[in-house]
Structure 1
């Protein structure tokens, strides 16, 4: 699909046709439960949440059809919190029912939670417990999903599932929602930021029009492009697009201060732009690897490999480089689930792989006309990124599949940073990802 090419998701791991169908026909078709590092599931059933003590109140946030940033903003405003007083470990799908942990500094009275829940239908707070520390991404293991695919053809379902088990997983692409399936532009904005082309970054975000966005948004973008009237655009720009509106409002006062305009959105959003470009580059490296016939599951000489915590007698994740001497042993660890192949998320501290994988990484950087040092942004240092590594294989945990009269229900868990839609893309093989709920 054209969207797959734009986002460098150029290959499938599973062969042949998919089952087709639609996800997210209703919010309850896509349910997400966050899993903490100790295995606790974020559910509204408070008996499953262990009690504790400390200066932080942890809660389970339930949301329906609301993005995580908006949900947190609602809670913060209602409770009168400062921005640093509430933390979450990650963003959850918007078009879904999701349950995730949040930590709040101090005590949250039960009557305040009860009142908040009575006033809000799409965001709820459950299960307050005390903890001595705040929530951060390192305390998240992953997510459990229950997803229904409707109006599908199940004739090849078991064949696809058998192939998934035989291969040991599928390419761990960053999924559509990392970039925005309706407006897949965040990675382009991120690239312009690391290139120091801040005016073009803002123009990409505000002016570029995509076919599936609302007519109101299209009209507002066309008006701004033709007139340059930021004040007038603010009157007609959709109120749901808060980051764009913040930039427009700033430029209405300071028309040529594009760095200041980007600073007018939250630091989280600034990092999101650069992170989307890093995700695009990861997908591009992974696609080139598959194109050259290299495995996305097993290592070749020169590849980095992460050893699963505990398998080396420690709680941290040792990283080693595969070579001709240790290759068989390393791939045996991968086969046994005790290690996993890693590809880079480029940043200014990235050490490139060696061997053929290293050549792929250099080729991608050349094609993009950047190097790893580009990810230190002098004019916007808060958007800089040191880089990291990411598993190249997505293997679902505890996969359960049930067929009923309304379609297929998939239940499974994924480690943090992995996308359920990446797995479902392999099974559904969507011909129109946006229309089919991806």
Structure 2
């Protein structure tokens, strides 16, 4: 038994217990999320050594950029006609979107479900995005102070920020390389992408730090709610530290004793935020696993959408291998409201023992999979790059839902996390400064790259 009072001592004595290996942009890990594409001979590249290496600034539907700059003066609230919803820009460093929202909810003493966002941003990064806060505590919201996040640009008179309510993201990224990397080879790959685009796969981030989101999503679609929750709470992974694996194993054997399970997760409460949320519900309703998922709707939706992303990746991989020269421009996501789904994914659904009716999850009515048709290949907009002593710096824009790492993995043999390569140049630099001569305040519609997804409202569920 690992007692919390001894946890710090244990880590100091056995530091390997906290070592973890992140999923990589390798053929082995790509296959786990449905991607099968052969690429060889690329230059080695490493991302996200520091959050400063990976900067994401959201572009709202009107083309306004949410910058990461901190205001010089303390922000103030402008009174509005409707003060039920407050819109603000969240800037965070080195934390996930859900974690930042949980911290805000804690400060404001409101449920985390009262906070909404347009999209999820990278954790090991500096990111900015608009969020909406329902029924905020006005005297507290401007006083929130945290070392890794802040709020700015408060407004009452904007539309509510909802999922998908953004135009795209501007990325400023440093890919760290070996000192003798082949610049000509990288430029050749960049020009090919400028001309042809890159396969528009859903990347690793969509599938979680254990690459298990889509498997949980399938269990939800199959109505195996207890198994889904059990996978979230107990399944170990080679991508997590041994100490985390140990705690998950103990949770497995304590299954059903929710007081004990919460006690175990609280030993690493910051890491197990999502798990603690589910367990709190189960302490009140010990057998209601459907209700546990419903208590965290954003997470439940994420799992199901990840499964549709997995099927999309499998189909696009098939197209990339068999029809790369003349691919269809668009592919639908799996939706029970789109008759095209069976034509595209029918064989996969048969292999997975699923029907389209299964995707109408009446037990969790907040999960609705609309008709979406997604481009198979996409070109980044306003692409610019610099070669530096530390590697190659890039600045570009992608429409909502497209992944910067999918783009970069067609230029580099990309890695992140542990183990770090021995050749890594660890000098911390301000990547944005390398592009200061091209400051942007707004993004014009014609500057945005090809649309990531085309939404077609399906027939309403009867």
Structure 1 residue 200 and structure 2 residue 227: aligned?
A: yes
Q: Tell me the equivalent position of 1:319.
A: none
Residue 388 of structure 1: how far off its partner (Å): 2.1
CA separation in 1, counterparts of 2:294 and 2:350?
29
Per-residue CA deviation, residues 44-87 of structure 1 (Å, 9 max, x unaligned), is 3779xxx9965354322110011112222322333445656543
Partner Cα separation in structure 1 for residue 413 and residue 154 of structure 2: 41
Mapped to 1, the partners of 2:99 and 2:236 lie a distance apart of: 24
Aligned positions of 1:248-259 closer than 5 A = 248-252=279-283, 254-259=285-290
Superposed CA offset, 1:369-401 (max 9, x none): 212221112333333434422222221111111
Q: What's the counterpart of residue 275 of structure 1?
A: 305
Q: Which residue of 2 aligns with 1:308?
A: none
Which residue pairs with 2:460 in the alignment? Answer: none
SS at match of 2:411: helix
Tell me the TM-score normalised to structure 2 length.
0.75
1:145-204: CA deviation from partner (whole Å, max 9, x where unpaired): 00101134234211111221232x111111101002x30111101001101122221222
Q: In terms of mean alpha carbon deviation, does 369-378 or 74-83 score higher?
A: 74-83
Find the counterpart in structure 1 of residue 293 from structure 2: 262
After superposition, residues 17-96 of structure 1 pair within 5 angstroms as 17-43=41-67, 44=69, 55=82, 57-81=86-110, 86-96=115-125
Kindly indicate whether structure 1 or structure 2 has the higher relative contact order, using CA contacts under 8 Å at least 6 residues apart.
2
The 3 A distance-change label for structure 1 pair 387 and 431 is same
Find out whether 1:175 has 2:203 as its counterpart.
Answer: yes
Query: C-alpha offsets along residues 259-278 of structure 1, whole Å, 9 cap, x if unaligned?
Result: 233233x1111111101111
**Partner residue in 2 for 1:163:** 192
- What does the per-residue CA deviation read over 1:208-249, in whole Å, with 9 as the maximum and x for residues that have no partner? 211121222211221233343443232222312222223334
Is 1:409 equivalent to 2:393 in the alignment? yes
Conservation of the 8 A alpha-carbon contact between 1:220 and 1:233: no
Alignment of 1:147 with 2:147, yes or no, is no
Q: Confirm or deny that 1:125 pairs with 2:151.
A: yes
Q: Is the 8 A contact 1:251 1:261 kept in 2?
A: yes
Paired with 2:382 and 2:406, the residues of 1 have a C-alpha distance of: 17
Equivalent residue pairs, number: 380
| RMSD of equivalent CA atoms | 2.8
2:367 and 2:263 map into 1 onto residues whose CA distance is 29
Alignment of 1:8 onto 2:62: no
Which segments of 5 or more consecutive residues in structure 1 lack a partner in the other structure? Answer: 300-340
Gap runs ≥5 in structure 2 = 1-26, 73-77, 422-462
The question of whether the paired residues in 2 share the 8 Å contact of 1:143 and 1:414 is answered with yes
Tell me, in whole angstroms, the C-alpha distance in 2 between the residues paired with 1:431 and 1:93.
15
Aligned to 1:306: none
Contact 1:224 1:230 in 2 (8 A): no
Contact 2:47 2:416 in 1 (8 A): no
Note if contact 2:320-2:327 (Cα within 8 Å) is conserved in structure 1.
Answer: no
d(CA) in 2 for partners of 1:132, 1:204: 39
